[in-house]
């Protein structure tokens, strides 16, 4: 598989079509069949603590790379405007390091979100925007 198109969905269908990235804005997830053709479903969580998905002319770009180090194929690639850009297969150690990095990024995001949810922080940020400091 070397070419993907984007299909916006509410729910990801049970049967996936090769070459399609199914994206649900409501559930903040994108799912596609592995680009190597092995048939494995590859989900990516979207949002500030996950991957980003952008669209241009119906063609998806997903960042950062998609590493399927936990799958038998061990595929590693980027999807850029619907085109697959292959990267070297991930070793077991690289997969573990990537999973740990993802976990740290999520923890940092939620820790920051909790800190910013305090009423006085929100009030201070509103004041800063109001007076033009931010």
pLDDT by residue (tens digit) across 21-60?
999 999 999 999 999 999 999 999 998 888 999 999 999 9
Nearest to 82 by CA among 106, 68, 101, 62: 62
Question: Is it the case that residue 100 has pLDDT exceeding 80?
Answer: yes
Q: How confident is the model at residue 1 (pLDDT cuts 50, 70, 90)?
A: low
Give, as one character, the DSSP assignment of residue 89: P
Strands (E), the chain: 5-8, 20-24, 29-33, 41-45, 52-56, 59-67, 76-80, 83-86
Q: What is the per-residue pLDDT for 124?
A: 82
Q: What is the per-residue pLDDT for 112?
A: 81
pTM beyond 0.95: no
Question: Is it the case that residue 17 has pLDDT exceeding 90?
Answer: yes
């Amino acid at each position: 598989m070397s070419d993907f198109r984007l299909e916006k969905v509410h729910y990801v269908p049970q049967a996936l079509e090769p070459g399609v990235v199914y994206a649900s804005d409501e559930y903040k997830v994108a799912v596609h069949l592995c680009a190597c053709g092995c048939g494995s479903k590859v989900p990516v969580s979207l949002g500030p603590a996950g991957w980003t998905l952008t669209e241009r002319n119906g063609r998806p770009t997903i960042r950062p790379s998609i590493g399927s180090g936990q799958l038998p194929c061990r595929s590693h690639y980027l999807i850029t405007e619907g085109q697959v850009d292959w990267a070297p297969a991930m070793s077991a150690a690289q997969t573990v390091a990537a999973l740990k990095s993802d976990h740290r990024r999520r923890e940092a995001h939620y820790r920051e979100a909790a800190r910013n949810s305090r009423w006085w922080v929100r009030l201070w940020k509103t004041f800063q925007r109001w007076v033009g400091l931010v």
